[in-house]
């Protein structure tokens, strides 16, 4: 569950900006002309320093979109971007994929929750497990559904093969 039990409640843009400024003072937050909120700032979950961008619009963007800007995400040696676990995978430009930080069906985040309380610590957590995945080849954090887009595609292809075999 998210941080706020009242699901009909929505945090205002000002409340999100204020909470981010208070809790993550090294992030630079701004409201764009169309009301989109953008934060950029550093996180250092283990030894590596990362530059993060968070984008959200209270009406047009349902979920806060988090991108790792610096250093860019990298696949494991010899692997592909689609194998990186728990992304909002962008087919056209995989390096701009967002981080899939929670289960939308489980309503683990709603606009009633503060990005500062949820999205940012979840991003730091994602980055540690991403580093551990590079080290071990396994995603060691709690998750639901497919670990990666590549794995889903493999499973889909296997399912199609099975159906085709039955048809023949």
Partner 1 sequence: MNQLVNPFQQADALDEVLLDVAALIELSPRDRRIAENRYRLLKLHLERKSSPLAPYLIDGESLIYAQGSIATSTTIVSGTEDDRFDVDAIVEIDVPSHWGNDHALDLLEEALQGFPGANEVVRCTRCVQLRFAFMHMDVTIMDRSARIPVARAGEIFHSPDRDESCRVASNPWGFTLWFRNGVGIGQDTFKELLRRHRATVGRDRLPFLDEQEMLVAKSDQVDLPPMIPSHIDAQEAVALKLLKRFLNLRYEGLAMKRPPSIYLAKRAGDVGHTPHGLAAQLFILADSTAKIMRDHTGRGTRPDERNPSYPPDRINDRWPAEGLSGVKEMTVFAEQLEYLCERLNRMVRAPLDEMARIIDDLFGERIGKAQREALATRYDRRQDSGTLFAAPRSGAIAAATLVSKPEVYREIPRHHFHSMIVGDGDER
User: CA-CA distance, 166 to 151, in Å (whole number)?
Assistant: 23
- Judged by the rule CB under 8 A, the positions of this chain that interact with partner 1 are 1-3, 23-26, 42-49, 85-92, 98, 100-104, 106, 108-109, 117-118, 120-126, 128-129, 131-132, 134-136, 138-149, 152
Nearer to partner 1, 17 or 122 (CB): 122
**Could you tell me the CA-to-CA distances from 158 to 86, 140, 164, 166 in Å, in that order?**
21, 25, 10, 12
Nearer to partner 1, 74 or 168 (CB): 74
Nearer to partner 1, 146 or 168 (CB): 146
Measure CA 46 to chain center.
18
Instruction: Supply the minimum distance, in Å, between the C-beta of residue 120 and partner 1.
Output: 7
Instruction: Supply the minimum distance, in Å, between the C-beta of residue 168 and partner 1.
Output: 28
Instruction: Supply the minimum distance, in Å, between the C-beta of residue 16 and partner 1.
Output: 16
Nearer to partner 1, 31 or 134 (CB): 134
- Among the listed residues 8, 96, 111, the one whose alpha carbon sits nearest the alpha carbon of residue 64: 111
Instruction: Supply the minimum distance, in Å, between the C-beta of residue 138 and partner 1.
Output: 8
Q: Are 114 and 19 in contact (CB under 8 A)?
A: yes
Which residues have C-beta within 8 Å of that of residue 58, sequence separation ≥ 6?
Answer: 10, 12, 13, 35, 37, 111
Instruction: Supply the minimum distance, in Å, between the C-beta of residue 116 and partner 1.
Output: 10
Token output for 152: 């889903």
Nearer to partner 1, 11 or 86 (CB): 86
CB 101: neighbour CB atoms within 10 A? Answer: 21
């Amino acid at each position: 569950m998210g941080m706020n039990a009242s699901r009909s409640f929505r945090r205002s843009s000002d409340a999100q900006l204020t909470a981010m400024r208070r809790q993550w003072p090294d992030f630079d937050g701004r409201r764009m002309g169309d009301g989109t909120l953008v934060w950029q700032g550093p996180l250092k979950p283990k030894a590596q320093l990362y530059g993060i961008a968070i984008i959200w619009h209270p009406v047009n963007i349902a979920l806060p979109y988090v991108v790792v800007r610096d250093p860019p995400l990298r696949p494991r040696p010899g692997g592909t971007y689609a194998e990186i676990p728990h992304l909002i995978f962008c087919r056209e430009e995989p390096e701009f994929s967002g981080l899939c930080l929670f289960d939308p069906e489980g309503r683990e985040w709603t606009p009633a929750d503060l990005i500062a309380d949820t999205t940012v610590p979840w991003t730091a957590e994602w980055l540690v497990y991403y580093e551990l995945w590079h080290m071990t080849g396994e995603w060691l954090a709690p998750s639901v559904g497919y670990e990666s887009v590549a794995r889903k595609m493999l499973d889909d292809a296997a399912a199609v093969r099975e159906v085709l075999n039955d048809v023949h």
